Structure 1
């Protein structure tokens, strides 16, 4: 990339407009780079180099450049990313502003904010952590919402702060969902899929499972993603990344044997079970509880 455009790019989190590129390149040169896949369009009239990560900072800046705004505030799921919260896989870029978006990948909200509602994270203006968590809790799918709230608590936001913020949203769409899930959130959850699995259990009417249950065994302290100590039943999210390969199988078998020796029954769940067939793990657990 030529020095003039490189300087502009570096000031804009890796994004640059077609007009800025044409100050350094001819139209033919620019078209060649786009056709080769060296430059990738982010939003209308805005590009990034293919090697540049599509960070939330870049996406917010690209949104600002695309709609010609003086400034934009990251909000909802995009703000949650900036705060380090867990968010769902399918997400657009969410900002606060007055202009309309030309694409469904960019969602412009007209929400009002006060100065105390805003933070600055790595050069990007965003709604503050508590406001962001409640905004997501009001407007996002339940499974993804609990994962976001669990991670917010894990990062040090208090439940009282979330409940106090939720009162400011009373009467808005999703208020009741936000309050319900704030009460169910648990900062001990260590992954978004553990959070989603826990909510499936609660929604099915099972007793509320405890995250990260520690079980003393003669082979050492073992820990389960979720558990019901009263029934000595555990539930593990079966992540392919963690439970694949011969070494992982040997480790899991040994762990399972020690838990069995202490009278624990452990069930396993996959992503497809959580999203599509929760009865695959909910009903066996329910039957086991009745049996005990």
Structure 2
């Protein structure tokens, strides 16, 4: 690609200012570079790492600034999927450091995991606020009870009421952002808090369901829900495996609802209606998101 090995990451390219747009388009079209962070392009051979995230942010964040918001969560190791619909991360920073809980990460000043989680709980749209806080709890970088205690200092600020709901619902057992979003749909519909990572023991193997209501059997059957991503549940072989698995779970007394991305983000409340029909409960509608 280049005759030299470094830098693998850069803001702009080693060309003249007039050449940059044309060269960027050419290298992107050839698949040799990708945009890693807004304004920062990366050799496709380089794998993501905490050090690389810090190096990329260092190129676009002023030395006297503090990384905050989604960029701070990204620097703390949270996946972009949990932080919002945009895949491309944008550097967020501030010079207003009064009352900020700041730590140093690879030479960068950044809001602490707890302060970042609280800020996102107040600022992000509700589904992403929950998936972001769940991800922080799952990573071990934040504690739910410590967050709830620290949130008292933000009372009266915009987003405070939302943050209290999010911290009440947050759960470190959520294994993916989609499981967080699915849980929020069930909570908003008024079905109550589902259990997560439910273990089901069969005669020859143990199954695990994303979430469900094991303590509310209807006609001797319990309801479980699983989010089936396009990546792991799209091929004919994967779908046959899923059908076999759900047939086995049915014989064990579990009614399993498969949830796909259109079910989760589409406008029609088919998910709420299906769960409500099984639980013999009218869902709370219209949907909140």
Q: TM-score range by the shorter chain?
A: 0.7 to 0.9
- CA–CA separation in structure 2 for the residues paired with 1:94 and 1:194: 27
The aligned runs of 1:19-98 (5 Å cut-off) are 21=14, 33-34=23-24, 36-37=26-27, 48-49=41-42, 51=44, 56-64=53-61, 69-85=62-78, 86-90=82-86, 92-98=89-95
Q: Structure 1 residues 121, 250: CA separation in 2 closer, same or farther (over 3 Å shift)?
A: same
Contact 2:226 2:258 in 1 (8 A): yes
Partner in structure 2 of residue 119 of structure 1:
103
TM superposition shift of 1:41: 8.3
Deviation per residue, 1:105-154 (Å, 9 max, x gap): xxxxx46344xx12222343211110010010000010011111111111
- CA–CA separation in structure 1 for the residues paired with 2:130 and 2:210: 16
- CA–CA separation in structure 2 for the residues paired with 1:53 and 1:154: 23
TM superposition shift of 1:53: 7.1
Q: Structure 1 residues 47, 249: CA separation in 2 closer, same or farther (over 3 Å shift)?
A: closer
Indicate the SS of the match to 1:93.
Answer: coil
Partner in structure 2 of residue 185 of structure 1:
170
Is 1:201 equivalent to 2:191 in the alignment? no
Is 1:154 equivalent to 2:149 in the alignment? no
Contact 2:12 2:20 in 1 (8 A): no
Indicate the SS of the match to 1:196.
Answer: helix
Q: Structure 1 residues 120, 261: CA separation in 2 closer, same or farther (over 3 Å shift)?
A: same
- CA–CA separation in structure 2 for the residues paired with 1:43 and 1:287: 45
In the superposition, the TM-score normalised over structure 2's length comes to: 0.78
Q: Structure 1 residues 246, 49: CA separation in 2 closer, same or farther (over 3 Å shift)?
A: closer
The aligned runs of 1:263-282 (5 Å cut-off) are 263-277=253-267, 279-282=269-272
Q: Structure 1 residues 58, 276: CA separation in 2 closer, same or farther (over 3 Å shift)?
A: farther
- CA–CA separation in structure 1 for the residues paired with 2:244 and 2:3: 58
Task: Name whichever structure is richer in helix by fraction.
Answer: 1
Deviation per residue, 1:59-87 (Å, 9 max, x gap): 522323xxxx3333221111111222332
**Residue of 131, 138, 155 corresponding to 1:170:** 155
In the superposition, the TM-score normalised over structure 1's length comes to: 0.77
- CA–CA separation in structure 2 for the residues paired with 1:41 and 1:193: 25
Deviation per residue, 1:80-106 (Å, 9 max, x gap): 1122233223265243334xxxxxxxx
Larger radius of gyration: 1
Contact 2:66 2:97 in 1 (8 A): no
Contact 2:66 2:110 in 1 (8 A): yes
Q: Structure 1 residues 78, 31: CA separation in 2 closer, same or farther (over 3 Å shift)?
A: closer
- CA–CA separation in structure 1 for the residues paired with 2:40 and 2:72: 21
Contact 2:68 2:93 in 1 (8 A): yes
Superposition RMSD in Å: 3.0
TM superposition shift of 1:216: 1.8
What residue ranges of structure 2 are gaps of 5+ in the alignment?
282-289
Aligned length: 262
Q: Name whichever of 232-241 and 135-144 sits farther off.
A: 232-241
